[in-house]
A and B are shown apart, each in its own frame.
Chain A
Amino acid sequence: MSSHLLILPVLLPLLAGAVLLLFSGARLAWKRPINLAACVALLVVAVLLLLRATEGGAQVYVLGDWVAPFGIVLVLDRLSALMLVITAVLAIPVTLAMSAGTDRTGQNFHGLLQFQLMGLNGAFLTGDLFNLFVFFEILLIASYALLVFGGGRARVAASMHYVILNLFGSALFIIAVGLLYGVTGTLNMADMAVRIAALPAEDVALVRAAGLLLLVVFALKAALLPLGMWLPAAYASAAAPIAALFAIMSKVGLYAIFRVHGLLFGDMAGPLAGLGQSLVWWLALATMLLGILGVLGARDLRTLLAWQVIVSVGTLLAGWSLGTPEAWTAALFYMVHSTWMTAALFLIAGVVVARRGEARDSFMVDARIASPVVGLAFLAGAVALAGIPPLSGFVGKALLLQAAGFSGDMTIFWVLMLCSGLAGLLAFSRAGTSLFWRGPVAEVAAEQPPMPLMPALLLLVLSVLLVAGGGPILDYLAATADAMLQPADMIRAVLGDRYLPGGA
């Protein structure tokens, strides 16, 4: 059993999703517990895998016993285990929030969520580049359906852009994978890293083109500047708990950049080492700037949060392009924090929308929410996301700035980081005053499905835990960053000793 634990994060959601779709006519009262149970089970599996990755380093599951590099392998290392846990933790509050009644507004939410989780987990676990594409498609097609869940003009319009852009992205992905296969003759990422390290000079240009194409694809998913304009409309129009789930979706692109570019174009890659890093650095800074402007200009809470996602993407990719172990450790911490806290605030935005009637979550002085609990939860989320002490956002930003160091090159990064905090502070203050302080007390519209606050509180507690447990968490993340920058251990786990350059 324990040897097959590695494939459970893919199998479990597949089976749960299939069951939920088979009985799609069943009552929600049946589907909700099944979905929740599957999410809890997934969290247990993810935590077990995290413990295994901590103890044993990189581990491999050989599908169908076709040995690497000929068959497809799943690779569990610290990074993939971390991503599995982030996702599984996120799924539970999202399910709880949707189960309060929003799942009535469309069809098959519970099944779609499971397929979404399957795609995400598969993408995090796979060690094969084409298989990564396949899992991307699974998570994308589930997200297409989830984005438009509940219908309505804004969702359909945003969904159209999201779907068409991602289909174009998929086409580029296949071209890049095809190029890499044509040149290196392998799809296994570890094997490909070894072959890129020993690449003949005449093939360097082709692999560079393929690597940059992959970067474009992942940057589209992660919403880096010229490719990220689909994100605000999509996230702001989706049902709030689904937007909370999508907090992990832009991180998939980030994960893919960390994984694929970290492995294929790491220090081993010779002339191709650090491919795209300087480009991404400037684009990431520009993304931060645009995100700051968007945060300041937002006129409703969900749009504000969507722009915060853009700011965090810029911050994270800037951290990635620094390329040092400290920067990657800080970026990983910030990724965990920003995923969970953005999701928490989207869930709070859902509560706001449900309780403010016609005014929904716009910053009109029309209706205020009298509940102090909601207000305090919003305050906590805003403090965390804007990066003010004592919550996790501050720790993440401080770590990133510390890793960047204070040299002349980094001035602009410091300025943007501090401005993003200030902009967050301003925008959240404005949001808070109009949502909770000004205007007459809101009357709850009867037709709105109820939205509980508890799921958001669950996520907010995690922010405290991230700070309180900072030491062990940072140790884990530092080991993760080291393993990513020194991928020999993982390559050895996949291919065995003989493939390593120098036979090490």
Chain B
Amino acid sequence: MELLMAVSIGVLTACGIYLMLRARTFPVVMGLMMLGYAVNLFLFSMGRLATEAPAVIGRAETHADPLPQALVLTAIVIGFAMTAYVVILIIRGRKTLEHDYVDDRVNERDHGVAEQGLSKRAVAMPETPASAEADGEPRP
């Protein structure tokens, strides 16, 4: 059970971090949620893993630590609220920014201003196409 738990937490964290590093908002939010699940599982396992051990004294031979369970519940509620907020924020961001990139400037650079700048300069300075090319080239 320990191995299964550890592997699940690890896989969830890895997926979460991978998704969070994506450039668009939706994968980032999915990544945050996955990381949230991983964190909750981790917090839960901090009370040590045991079977047939209720969190109430006297119901069985052994009893589980109830505190991590309470902490996980709190963390779930908070995570739920935060996810709701961030989803609303990205919907509003999509409307206000008119794109769904996490970084506003990425969009300008790759799809808007840079290309316009290139064409304007190419028109304005036809005798030096090489320098215009170099100036207007989008940075990697």
**A residues with CB within 8 A of B:** 130, 134, 137, 141, 144-145, 148, 151-153, 156-157, 159-161, 163-164, 167-168, 170-171, 174-175, 177-179, 181-182, 187
- Given A160-B89, A174-B42, A174-B43, 13 more A-B residue pairs with CB atoms under 8 Å apart are A130-B74, A144-B85, A156-B89, A156-B93, A157-B93, A161-B102, A161-B103, A164-B86, A167-B82, A171-B32, A178-B42, A178-B43, A182-B48
User: In whole angstroms, what is the CA distance A157 to B36 when docked?
Assistant: 23
B72 to chain A, nearest CB (A): 9
Contacts of B42 in A (CB 8 A): 174-175, 178
State the main secondary structure of chain B at its contact with A. Answer: helix
Which of A152, A164, A174, A177 has most B Cβ within 10 Å? A174
**Do the beta carbons of B97 and A156 come within 8 Å of each other?**
yes
Fill in one digit per residue for B80-97: 1 if any A CB lies within 8 Å of its CB, else 0. 011001100110110011
A57 to chain B, nearest CB (A): 29
State the main secondary structure of chain A at its contact with B. Answer: helix
User: In whole angstroms, what is the CA distance A157 to B97 when docked?
Assistant: 8
Q: B132 at the A/B interface (Cβ < 8 Å)?
A: no
B16 to chain A, nearest CB (A): 8
User: In whole angstroms, what is the CA distance A178 to B71 when docked?
Assistant: 9
Fill in one digit per residue for B53-91: 1 if any A CB lies within 8 Å of its CB, else 0. 000000000000001100100110010011001100110
**Do the beta carbons of B25 and A168 come within 8 Å of each other?**
no
A144 to chain B, nearest CB (A): 6
Contacts of A141 in B (CB 8 A): 81-82, 85
Residue of B nearest to A173 (CB): B39
User: In whole angstroms, what is the CA distance A160 to B38 when docked?
Assistant: 22
**B residues with CB within 8 A of A:** 20, 25, 28, 32, 35-36, 38-40, 42-43, 46-48, 67-68, 71, 74-75, 78, 81-82, 85-86, 89-90, 92-93, 96-97, 102-104
Known: A141-B85, A161-B102. A168 touches B20 (CB 8 A): yes
User: In whole angstroms, what is the CA distance A168 to B75 when docked?
Assistant: 13
Contacts of A145 in B (CB 8 A): 85
Contacts of B32 in A (CB 8 A): 164, 167-168, 171
**Do the beta carbons of B97 and A178 come within 8 Å of each other?**
no
Give me 23 A-to-B residue pairs in the complex whose CB atoms sit less than 8 angstroms apart, sorted by A's number. A137-B78, A141-B82, A144-B89, A145-B85, A148-B92, A153-B96, A153-B97, A156-B89, A156-B97, A157-B103, A157-B104, A161-B102, A163-B85, A164-B20, A170-B82, A171-B32, A171-B35, A175-B43, A177-B43, A177-B71, A178-B46, A179-B46, A182-B47
B121 to chain A, nearest CB (A): 23
Contacts of B39 in A (CB 8 A): 171, 174-175, 178
Contacts of B36 in A (CB 8 A): 171
User: In whole angstroms, what is the CA distance A175 to B38 when docked?
Assistant: 9
Contacts of B92 in A (CB 8 A): 148, 156
- Please name the 9 residue pairs, one residue from A and one from B, whose CB atoms are nearest each other, closest first: A182-B46, A157-B104, A178-B43, A178-B46, A156-B96, A174-B39, A171-B39, A171-B35, A156-B93
User: In whole angstroms, what is the CA distance A163 to B86 when docked?
Assistant: 7
**B46 interface neighbour in A153, A167, A181, Cβ under 8 Å:** A181
Contacts of A130 in B (CB 8 A): 71, 74
A5 to chain B, nearest CB (A): 27
B97 to chain A, nearest CB (A): 6
**Do the beta carbons of B68 and A160 come within 8 Å of each other?**
no
**Do the beta carbons of B81 and A174 come within 8 Å of each other?**
no
Residue of A nearest to B41 (CB): A178
Contacts of B71 in A (CB 8 A): 130, 177-178, 181
Known: A171-B39, A178-B42. A160 touches B81 (CB 8 A): no
Contacts of B25 in A (CB 8 A): 160
Known: A148-B89, A174-B75. A181 touches B96 (CB 8 A): no
**A160 interface neighbour in B46, B48, B78, B102, Cβ under 8 Å:** B102
Contacts of A187 in B (CB 8 A): 67
Contacts of A137 in B (CB 8 A): 78, 82
User: In whole angstroms, what is the CA distance A171 to B81 when docked?
Assistant: 14
User: In whole angstroms, what is the CA distance A90 to B89 when docked?
Assistant: 28
Known: A148-B89, A159-B89, A178-B68. A164 touches B96 (CB 8 A): no
**B86 interface neighbour in A152, A167, A174, A177, Cβ under 8 Å:** A167
User: In whole angstroms, what is the CA distance A171 to B42 when docked?
Assistant: 11
B58 to chain A, nearest CB (A): 18
B102 to chain A, nearest CB (A): 6
Contacts of A148 in B (CB 8 A): 89, 92
Contacts of A168 in B (CB 8 A): 20, 32, 35
**Do the beta carbons of A160 and B90 come within 8 Å of each other?**
yes
B40 to chain A, nearest CB (A): 8
**Do the beta carbons of A160 and B43 come within 8 Å of each other?**
no
A460 to chain B, nearest CB (A): 35
Residue of A nearest to B36 (CB): A171
**Do the beta carbons of A152 and B46 come within 8 Å of each other?**
no
**Do the beta carbons of B104 and A164 come within 8 Å of each other?**
no
Contacts of B103 in A (CB 8 A): 157, 161
User: In whole angstroms, what is the CA distance A181 to B38 when docked?
Assistant: 17
User: In whole angstroms, what is the CA distance A148 to B90 when docked?
Assistant: 12
**Do the beta carbons of A164 and B68 come within 8 Å of each other?**
no
User: In whole angstroms, what is the CA distance A148 to B75 when docked?
Assistant: 25
**Do the beta carbons of A181 and B67 come within 8 Å of each other?**
yes
Residue of A nearest to B83 (CB): A167
User: In whole angstroms, what is the CA distance A433 to B67 when docked?
Assistant: 60
Contacts of A177 in B (CB 8 A): 43, 71
**A152 interface neighbour in B75, B96, B102, Cβ under 8 Å:** B96
Residue of A nearest to B20 (CB): A168
B122 to chain A, nearest CB (A): 28
B15 to chain A, nearest CB (A): 13
